[in-house]
Chain A
């Protein structure tokens, strides 16, 4: 079965610094991978997704992620953090199940703090 590991439950960066949130997955088939962001008291919002094709994926708000098959990783980065980036971030892998349908398996989440 697929699984997702997010390294670091809390990450703190200075405003303007590089953001790096780590995600490793396990999957026996080519995965579909997603990053979601959750702001306080809200649902999850899709940041970006990887399905096939280009391994560097650009998302909203200046975030991007690179799919590295050899490392089974899908780390999320942003060159320059902004105060508004403070939120919780979830990595997810799509799992296929009988009938051809899919469901998402989520990591435990990484809470990003941005300080002045």
Chain B
């Protein structure tokens, strides 16, 4: 079956612009996660969804970052007023089993802020 998909695959934007990143999880997976991976850094947790709720937003680095999930499926990560330090690969993962299942990752969105 289809895996996790993300769009766009690459995004180049100018400092100060807003961007939206999209994640389509594996069908039926109730848990959805956003991570980011900066050059030379490990994966950094951003936010976790169970259904449409986000019980853990502790990894969002600032109030410029927000995320939502609708219909228990697609999720959007929004970064407002982008800064150069936001440049990274943003990865989405989904899992079944109430959030303890294996996390399957999408291919990521590579964001470059000029």
Partners in one complex: no
B residues with a Cβ closer than 8 A to A are none
A residues with a Cβ closer than 8 A to B are none
